[in-house]
């Protein structure tokens, strides 16, 4: 089991499909110290999925994501935590301390109380 953070430079990519790499942390680790960086060479949905599956990713943290890719990943058993923004180190730390859903990390427009739905922001994310 692994956690992947979809990144662009040193931040969570604002759009999953524009990620330039995934930072992968084998769970149950709780820091970035032992993470590995996986470059993204092809942003097509099948290739992104293959890359995540090859690295045993079970949880993905990302910014915005298309409905198609969100569904594709979840059907393949990858839990998607969308609508997250911020510095890579701070987002990882917030995830491991249970503070990922505080205001600095939730994308603007996704902060309304009660926003739920298949592609919305969920507070009931299972944590490993």
Find the CATH number of the domain harbouring 48: 3.30.420.130
In-domain check, residue 88: yes
pLDDT of residue 116: 40
Q: How many CB atoms lie within 10 A of CB 92?
A: 22
pLDDT at 120: 46
What's the CA gap between 59 and 39, in Å, rounded? 18
Domain assignment present for residue 121? The answer is no
With respect to residue 114, please indicate whether it lies within any of the assigned structural domains.
no
Residue 111 in domain: no
**27 falls within a domain:** yes
Q: Within a domain: residue 119?
A: no
Instruction: Quote the radius of gyration of the chain (alpha carbons, Å).
Output: 13
Q: Which domain holds residue 44?
A: 2-105
How many degrees, rounded to 5, is the angle at CA 62 between CA 106 and CA 79?
A: 105
Asked if residue 128 belongs to a domain, the reply is: no
Give me the pLDDT at residue 32, please. Answer: 82
What is the tally of structural domains in the chain? 1
The reported pLDDT for the residue numbered 34 is: 81
pLDDT in the model for residue 55:
95
Within 13 Å of residue 66, how many CA atoms lie on the same side as its CB? Answer: 9
pLDDT of residue 20: 95
Strand partners, 64: 15
- Mean pLDDT of each 10-residue bin along the chain, 128 residues long: 94 94 90 90 92 96 93 96 92 89 67 44 46
Q: What is the pLDDT of residue 79?
A: 96
């Amino acid at each position: 089991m692994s956690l992947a953070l979809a990144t662009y430079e040193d931040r969570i990519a604002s759009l999953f499909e524009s990620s330039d790499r995934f930072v992968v942390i084998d769970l149950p680790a709780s820091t970035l110290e032992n993470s590995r960086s996986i470059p993204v060479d092809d942003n097509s949905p099948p290739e992104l999925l293959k890359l995540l599956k090859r690295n045993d990713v079970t949880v993905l943290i990302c910014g915005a994501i298309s409905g198609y890719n969100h569904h594709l990943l979840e059907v393949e058993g990858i839990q998607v935590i969308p609508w997250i923004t911020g510095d890579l180190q701070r987002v990882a730390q917030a995830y491991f301390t249970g503070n990922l859903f505080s205001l600095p990390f939730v994308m603007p427009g996704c902060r309304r109380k009660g926003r739920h739905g298949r592609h919305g922001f969920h507070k009931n994310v299972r944590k490993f």
